[in-house]
Amino acid sequence: MGGFVHLHVHTQYSILDGASNIKVLVDRAKALNMKAIAITDHGNMFGVKEFINTVAKKNEPIYSEIKRIKCELDAIDQTTNPEKHAELSKQLQDENEKLFKPIVGCEAYIAKNSRFDRTDKDDRGGYHLILLAKNLEGYHNLVKLVSYSWTEGFYYKPRMDKELLRKYSKGIIASSACLGGEIPQAIMSGNLELAEQLVYEFKEIFGDDFYLELTLHSSGDYRIDQEVYENQQKVNAALIELSKKTGTKCIATNDAHFINAEDAQAHDRLICLSTGKDLDDPDRLRYTMQEYIKSEEEMLDNFAHYPEAVHNTAEIAKKVEIYSLSNLPIMPYFPLPDGFKDDNDYLRYLTYEGAKKRWGENLSDTVKERVDFELEVVARMGYPGYFLIVWDFIKAARDMGVSVGPGRGSAAGSAVAYCLRITDIDPIKYDLLFERFLNPERISMPDIDIDFDEDGRELVLKYVVEKYGRKRVAQIITFGTMAAKMAIRDVARVQKLPLSDSDKLAKLVPERPGTTLAAAYKEVPELAQARNSENELIRDTLKYAEVLEGNVRQTGVHACGVIIGRDDLEEYVPLSTAKDADLFVTQYEGSQVEDIGLLKMDFLGLKTLSIIKDALQFIKESKGIDVDIDAIPLDDKKTFNLYSKGETTALFQFESPGMKKHLRALQPNRFEDLIAMNALYRPGPMEYIPSFINRKHGKEKIEYDIPEMEEYLMDTYGITVYQEQVMLLSQKLAGFTKGQADGLRKAMGKKQIKVMNELKEKFTKGCLENGHKQEAIDKIWSDWEAFAQYAFNKSHSTCYAYISYQTAYLKANFPSEFMAAVLSRNISDIKKITIFMDECKRMGMQVLGPDANESAYKFTVNSNGDIRFGLGAIKGVGENAVANIIEVRKEKGKFKDIFDFTEKVNLQTVNKKNFEALAVAGAFDGLGTIKRSEYFAQDAKGSTLIELLTRYGSKVQTEKNNNQQSLFGATTAGFDLQKPEIPKIEDWSKLEKLNREKEVIGIYLSAHPLDDYRLEIDNFCNTTLTDMNDLPSINGKDATIAGMVTSAKIAMTKTGKQFGKITLEDYSDSWELALFGKDFENFRKYCYEGYSLLIKGRVQPKSYNPSELEFKIKSMHMLSDVKEEMIKMVNINMPIHEINDALVDELKKQAELNKGKIMLRFKVFDPESKISIDLFSRTLKVNLTPKFLNYLKSNEFDFRVKD
pLDDT in tens, 752-773: 888 888 899 999 999 999 999 9
According to the model, what pLDDT value does residue 308 have?
A: 96
Model confidence band, residue 499 (pLDDT cutoffs 50, 70, 90): confident
Going by C-alpha positions, the residue among 15, 467, 43, 17 that lies closest to residue 258 is: 17
Burial level of 1194, CB count in 10 A (0-12/13-18/19+)? exposed
* Alpha carbon 939 to chain centroid, angstroms: 52
pLDDT of res. 970:
47
Sequential DSSP letters for 468-507: H-GGGEEEEEEEEE--HHHHHHHHHHHHT--HHHHHHHHH
Between 405 and 966, the more confident residue is 405
Length of the chain: 1203
Q: Which CATH architecture has domain 1011-1120?
A: Beta Barrel (2.40)
DSSP string, 503-544: HHHHHHS-SSTT--HHHHHHH-HHHHHHTT-S-HHHHHHHHH
The answer to whether 1066 and 1041 have CB atoms below 8 angstroms apart is yes
Predicted pLDDT at 48: 97
Which band of pLDDT confidence, cut at 50, 70 and 90, is reported for residue 789?
Answer: low
pLDDT of residue 974: 44
Check: CB of residue 880 under 8 Å from CB of residue 847. no
Q: Give the domain 22-264+279-319 fold.
A: TIM Barrel (3.20.20)
Distance CA 1037, CA 1022 (A): 10
CA distance 193 to 189: 11
pLDDT at position 973 over 50: no
DSSP 651-694: STT--SHHHHHHHHHH---SHHHHHHHHHHSSTTGGGGHHHHHH
Q: Amino acid identity of 1080?
A: F
pLDDT digits (tens, 9 = 90+) for 339-373: 999 999 999 999 999 999 999 999 999 999 999 99
pLDDT of residue 2: 63
| pLDDT, tens digit, 9 for 90 and up, residues 885-934 | 999 999 999 999 999 999 999 999 999 999 999 999 999 999 999 999 99
d(CA 539, CA 535): 6
Topology given in CATH for the domain delimited by 343-478+558-607: glyoxalase-related enzyme like fold (3.30.1900)
Q: Is 283 exposed, middle or buried (0-12, 13-18, 19+ CB in 10 A)?
A: exposed
pLDDT value at 199 more than 50: yes
| Domain map (residue ranges) of the chain | 22-264+279-319, 343-478+558-607, 483-549, 683-791, 814-1001, 1011-1120, 1129-1202
- CA distances (Å), origin 260, targets 19, 251, 709, 713: 10, 22, 61, 59
CB 572 within 8 A of CB 596: yes
* DSSP string for 547-565: HHTT-EEEEEEEEEEEEE-
Q: For residue 179, what are the contacts with CB-CB under 8 A and spacing of at least 6?
A: 185, 188, 215, 228, 231, 232, 235
User: What's the burial of 929, exposed, middle or buried (CB within 10 Å: 0-12/13-18/19+)?
Assistant: exposed
Chain mean position to CA 158:
28
Question: How, if at all, do strands 1129-1135 and 867-868 pair?
Answer: unpaired
Q: How much is the pLDDT for 964?
A: 63
* Of 32, 639, 641, 680, nearest in space to 292 by CA: 32
Q: Given a cut of 60, is residue 251 above it in pLDDT?
A: yes
Distance set, CA 888 to CA 357, 414, 747, 958, 959 (Å): 46, 51, 65, 17, 18
For the chain, the maximum distance between any two Cα atoms, rounded to a whole number of angstroms, is 121
CA gap 977, 955 in Å, rounded: 8
Distance CA 1011, CA 1018 (A): 11
Q: Which amino acid is at 457?
A: R
pLDDT at 145 over 50: yes
Q: What phi and psi, each to the nearest 5 degrees, are found at residue 954?
A: -65, -40
Count other Cβ atoms within 10 Å, centred on residue 736: 21
Amino acid 1048: pLDDT: 93
Give backbone dihedrals phi and psi of 326, rounded to 5 degrees, phi first: -75, 140
182-196, 336-350, 552-566, 962-976: which has the minimum mean pLDDT? 962-976
Q: Closest Cα to residue 663, out of 674, 650, 679, 649?
A: 674
Please return the burial class of 701, using the count of CB atoms within 10 Å of its CB with bins 0-12, 13-18 and 19+: exposed
Which has the closest alpha carbon to 450: 564, 347, 340, 345?
564
Enclosing H/E stretch for 1172: strand 1171-1182
| 3-state secondary structure at position 113 | coil
Q: Mean of the pLDDT values across residues 544-563?
A: 91
Name the 3-class secondary structure at 801.
helix
Separation of alpha carbons 611 and 750, rounded Å: 36
**Mean pLDDT, range 272-276, rounded to an integer:** 91
Q: What mean pLDDT comes out for the span 375-389?
A: 93
> pLDDT-derived band of residue 1, with 50, 70 and 90 as boundaries?
very low
Q: Residue 50: pLDDT above 60?
A: yes
Instruction: In whole angstroms, give the CA distance from residue 605 to residue 458.
Output: 9
75 Cβ contact list (under 8 Å, min separation 6): none
Query: Per-residue pLDDT tens for 572-603?
Result: 999 999 988 889 999 999 889 989 999 888 89
Residue 799 · residue 406 · CB < 8 Å: yes
H helices of 76-159, in order, are 82-98, 136-151
Q: Which residues of 336-366 are buried (b: 16+ CB within 10 A; e: fewer)?
A: eeeeeeebbebbbebbeebbeebbeeebeee
On average, the pLDDT of the chain sits at 91
- Of residues 1 and 943, which shows the higher confidence score? 943
CATH numeric code, 483-549: 1.10.10.1600
CB 997 within 8 A of CB 988: no
The answer to whether the beta carbons of residues 215 and 299 sit under 8 Å apart is: no
Q: Per-residue DSSP letters for 1051-1091?
A: EE-TTS-EEEEEEEE-SS-EEEEEE-HHHHHHHGGG--TT-
3-class secondary-structure state, position 865: coil
Residue 1020 — very low, low, confident or very high, per pLDDT cuts 50/70/90? confident
How far lies 916's CA from each of 324, 659, 764, 855, 996, in Å? Answer: 65, 44, 77, 17, 11
pLDDT class of 8 with cuts at 50, 70, 90: very high
Type of residue at 162: K
Residue 488 φ then ψ, to 5°: -60, -50
**Rounded Cα gap, residues 680 and 573, in angstroms:** 41
Kindly give, in sequence order, each residue whose CB lies less than 8 Å from that of residue 1159, ignoring residues fewer than 6 positions away: 1128, 1129, 1130, 1176, 1177, 1181
Return the minimum-mean-pLDDT range out of 846-850, 974-978, 989-993: 974-978
Average pLDDT (831-855) is 90
